[in-house]
Structure 1
């Protein structure tokens, strides 16, 4: 049995998070005396201080501190750099490594339940780190992506900056091969980057109705739905039967997007599956940093964590 380690989910609010239940269950299953808890911190300067203490092995980062976590890291994976934010921080020899497993968790989950990204038209709502992490995973899975933001110019500028960063990664043969990626997913990324034209655009919600209607998959990566009365990010009357709709929000009841998607006959899923997928990837990063073996493997970790969270994947 290894040494006791402290791990947390950092954000505000995080009281709804299933992360402690999932992580503590999997560390018990692995025979590790690790403890995972809540770090619900309202103010950014206090969150910054908590990160800088480095009195933990790893953090999962959620809204609104992904950009802050990225800036605090000493090194960053390609996924975190392309997302411009980190949802995982790992302490290795006293230094902080930033990762972003959101896109991997989202796309892997949706693929596992039948969504096809190869050649698909995908709409991603939001222009924050979670949105860009998902955008990158969608492109690597073979999709063309439309990113929606409140301001058209800002959306276009952020997409163009992402395209330049992505092209630089391709030029340097950086294929996002991370600890949590299988050989197959890494190969898929290589093929997508070397053989396909990257098709990504940014527009405002005001200009998106016909584009949403033409989409195969719609992904909302905004925080809308976390507060009572939050609207959907766009006019849900544009949705129709045959589309996949995914809302990254979970644990806050039925969101306006969920209600609209179900009423339109879409295949709808909330963020629970993504939460588990990205959490499994984070666990593998934590184990690697601590030099602990992964005796359960990806599927075993997935099963334990999904059951602990009460999600049927």
Structure 2
């Protein structure tokens, strides 16, 4: 029986409950009960089952089983006792994470995405990378979950055009033009996730007088003014490494670059985070959404477009190099 006292959360497609699996061994589980009212419920159920039933990685939430019962769609997962990551970023009553914990979670999610993009038998695009879809196990390891929007295809094949899904603030700009989810669109969302983790703020925020703050633009502006350290979450206890924080912020902006070809792969991201590669030397202007907006509005002349194009190519060259 599903009881309100065991309710863990309610999402766009249904509810998640805590439970216990008694056989073959007693373990705590989370059961996702896909909503009848959801028009995409069956599609989400099929996507989750087909894409993650056989996945095995320490930074992904493991799917233990699934069934259809009396028309209901049920997904059974390992229970993550520390819940969703976003509560530690935005719920002040839940406590906060120090920098060591945040960096550990960041590396874990990056490792999970690398596995999905390159190391599994097919390419899996998550399509909804964000803090609320990262769950924390008993040791505070970050595990990427909720594969309801996932798409998969064979290595070497081209991504197919699909309906654009995801969350505002994490959607790569090219999705609106091509409708194609690729590893690069996941990288864009991962960049927004890095900003969440470091700044403790949502990618898009509504402020007084209907003023909208785009976190990427705000951090880029702080960098331009030489005050990028002001973007860091003031609630991080016990201090942090200025070099590491700056690295993560600049990597976040590079991952969320408006031009798809300028973004790194998740393998390169892991090398940057582990200190095995140096970030390319880029200016704040190169990483700004404003540049892309001007290009689309026709405010750049042909010479400026050529300069922007050559800069992009140079960035790709730098990204493929090492120390």
Please tell me the TM-score bracket, short chain as reference.
under 0.3
Larger radius of gyration: 2
Higher relative contact order (CA 8 A, sep 6+): 1
- What is the TM-score normalised by the length of structure 1? 0.26
